[in-house]
């Protein structure tokens, strides 16, 4: 029975992941995907002999599309572990404390619901932009990323570095786009995340340029010219180079404050001009991050607190627009 259950869930989740990551057309709401993935993780932990080698529980994202040049990431682009409630945030805090010598300080950031991208600069010039893909290999989408006004083509200093961020479609652009699609009787995008991903994975950069995308940079992939003591310091550095970072980030000193921050945003997120699907909690000190390290899929020094999805609202809006 356990084997049949694992086989079934693996098969369904692989199909959902393909539609979400490769086709940018999710078949089910994220909550449903996350619930099934959790169930599969629990079954695999109990019956490891039945786990598939290519199980979605151990994979990041999807295969890069063939029509784009493939880009091998020098530093892998990882996923994040999830916490769905306060107890799971406390479990994360316990694991962090067990893994470091001091007391952790957390950097809390809005989890922007878009598409992870990496941007490479050589001597201050933007030379390459790519998707996360499967974490090891992404797609070269430089031509489309160049159309995003908030991506600097020249930095304020001639440095060589790689930054990581979330490209997204603001709510207003998404509504405008789906309204125009409805008028032309074209299929609508399910949500701004899929609209952003669909816009950036186009061969013609005019399409991305028309869709008013934006970006927040949330970290550094590599910076051979400069070391940092904390994540917070790294974010200040990239902001000073000319990148757009999110102003709502906060440095917090206890897990209770982290939980308050997460709860505050459950209600406040509706007021933002872009979609967020949670809060990313990161251990701030780089030394602590190094002590904690990584699993095969995600850093042990960060987790994503996930809100209940807003898909229901989006579906209603989609129906409204399509009639
Ligand atoms: P994730 O979305 O849970 O977390 C990792 C990503 O968070 C990063 O790659 C980055 O893009 C993003 N991010 C946003 N703001 C960030 C910040 N400030 N700092 C760091 N990262 C930030 O993990 P995932 O591996 O991309 O995918 C899992 C998600 O995709 C889940 O929400 C899942 O529900 C959804 N999904 C849905 C379906 C479906 O069929 N509906 C299928 C597959 C996956």
pTM of the predicted structure, to 2 decimals: 0.93
Which residue, judged by its Cα, is nearest atom 26 of ligand 1? Answer: 79
Strand partners, 163: 119, 220
Residue 1, pLDDT score? 67
What is residue 114's three-state secondary structure? coil
**Atom 3 (ligand 1) nearest CA:** 80
Same domain, 242 and 264: yes
- Cα 177 to ligand 1 centre (Å): 23
25 pLDDT band (50/70/90 cuts)? confident
Q: Are residues 2 and 92 in the same domain?
A: no
Q: Residues annotated as binding site for NAD(+)? A: 30-34, 79-80, 109, 132, 166, 282, 306
Same domain, 45 and 86: no
Residue 312, pLDDT score: 46
- Shared domain check, 99 and 22: no
Instruction: Pick the last residue of a domain from 18, 34, 59.
Output: 59
Task: Give yes or no: residues 244 and 260 share one domain.
Answer: yes
Nearest-10 crossing angle of helices 30-46, 2-17? 140
Q: Assign 3-class secondary structure to 36-68.
A: HHHHHHHHHHHCHHHCCCCCHHHCCCCCCCCCC
Confidence (pLDDT) at 310: 58
Q: Whose CA is nearest to atom 19 of ligand 1?
A: 218
199 and 244 belong to one structural domain? yes
pLDDT at 317 over 60: no
115 C-alpha to ligand 1 centroid (Å)? 8
Q: CA 209 to CA 211: how far, in whole Å?
A: 6
Q: Which two tokens stand for residue 162?
A: 């790689």
Q: Is 90 exceeded by the pLDDT of residue 284?
A: yes
Alpha helices in 62-166 (DSSP H): 86-99, 142-145
Q: Which ligand 1 atom is nearest residue 116's CA?
A: 11
Size of the chain in residues: 323
The answer to whether the Cα torsion of 57, 280, 283, 97 is positive or negative is negative
- Of all residues in the chain, what percent carry a pLDDT higher than 90? 88
Which residue's structure tokens are 């063939």? 66
Q: How many angstroms is it from 221 CA to the middle of ligand 1?
A: 17
Examine the domain organization and report whether 36 and 71 are in the same domain.
Answer: no
Domain that holds residue 313: 60-322
Residue 77 CA, closest ligand 1 atom number: 9
Q: How far is CA 230 from the centre of its chain?
A: 21
pLDDT, residue 225, reads 86
pLDDT of 52 reads 95
More confident residue, 315 or 189: 189
Q: Sheet of 106-112: strands edge to edge?
A: 81-83, 302-306, 276-283, 106-112, 250-252
Q: Are residues 75 and 220 in the same domain?
A: yes
Asked whether residue 259 carries a pLDDT value surpassing 60, the answer given is: yes
Residue-level pLDDT at 23: 87
CA of 79 to the centre of ligand 1 (A): 7
Mean pLDDT of 137-153: 97
Average pLDDT estimate for 216-221? 97
CA of 60 to the centre of ligand 1 (A): 9
Domain tally, the chain: 2
111 included as an active-site residue: yes
Q: Tell me the average pLDDT across 38-63.
A: 93
Does residue 321 carry a pLDDT above 80? no
pLDDT at 309: 59
pLDDT digits (tens, 9 = 90+) for 108-121: 999 999 999 999 99
- Residues 68-108 pLDDT 10s: 999 999 999 999 999 999 999 999 999 999 999 999 999 99
For the CA of 60, the nearest atom of ligand 1:
25
CATH number of the domain within which 315 lies: 3.30.470.30
Exactly one of 3, 14, 111, 154 is catalytic; name it: 111
CA of 61, closest atom in ligand 1: 25
Indicate if 120 and 17 belong to the same structural domain: no
pLDDT of 24: 86
Residues in contact with ligand 1 (CB, 6 Å cut-off): 16-17, 20, 26-30, 33-34, 60-61, 79-80, 82, 109, 111-112, 116, 132, 166, 218, 280, 304
């Amino acid at each position: 029975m356990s084997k049949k259950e694992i086989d079934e869930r693996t098969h369904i989740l692989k199909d959902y992941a393909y539609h979400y990551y490769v086709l940018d057309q999710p078949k089910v709401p994220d909550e449903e995907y996350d619930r099934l993935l959790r169930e599969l993780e629990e079954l695999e932990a109990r019956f490891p002999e039945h786990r598939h080698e290519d199980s979605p529980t151990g994979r990041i994202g999807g295969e890069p599309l063939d029509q784009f040049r493939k880009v091998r990431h020098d530093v892998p682009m990882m996923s994040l572990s999830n916490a769905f409630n306060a107890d799971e945030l406390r479990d994360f805090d316990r694991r962090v404390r067990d893994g470091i010598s001091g007391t952790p300080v957390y950097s809390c950031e809005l989890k922007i619901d878009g598409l992870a991208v990496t941007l490479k600069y050589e001597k201050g010039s933007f030379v390459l932009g790519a998707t996360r893909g499967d974490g090891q290999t992404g797609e070269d989408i430089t031509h489309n990323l160049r159309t995003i006004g908030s991506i600097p083509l020249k930095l304020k200093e001639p440095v060589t570095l790689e930054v990581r961020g979330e490209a997204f479609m603001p709510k207003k652009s998404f509504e405008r786009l789906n309204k125009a699609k409805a008028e032309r009787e074209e299929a609508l995008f399910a949500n701004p995340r899929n609209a952003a991903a669909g816009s950036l994975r186009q061969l013609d950069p005019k399409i991305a340029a028309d869709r008013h995308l934006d970006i927040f940079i949330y970290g550094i992939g590599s910076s051979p010219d400069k070391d940092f003591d904390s994540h917070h310091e790294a974010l200040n550095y990239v902001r000073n180079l000319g990148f757009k970072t999110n102003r709502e980030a906060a440095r917090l000193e206890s897990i209770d404050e982290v939980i308050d921050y997460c709860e505050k945003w459950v209600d406040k997120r509706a007021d933002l001009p872009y979609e967020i699907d949670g809060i990313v909690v990161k251990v701030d000190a780089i030394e602590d991050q190094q002590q904690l390290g990584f699993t095969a899929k995600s850093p042990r020094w960060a987790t994503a607190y996930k809100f209940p999805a807003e898909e229901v609202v989006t579906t209603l809006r989609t129906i409204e627009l399509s009639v």
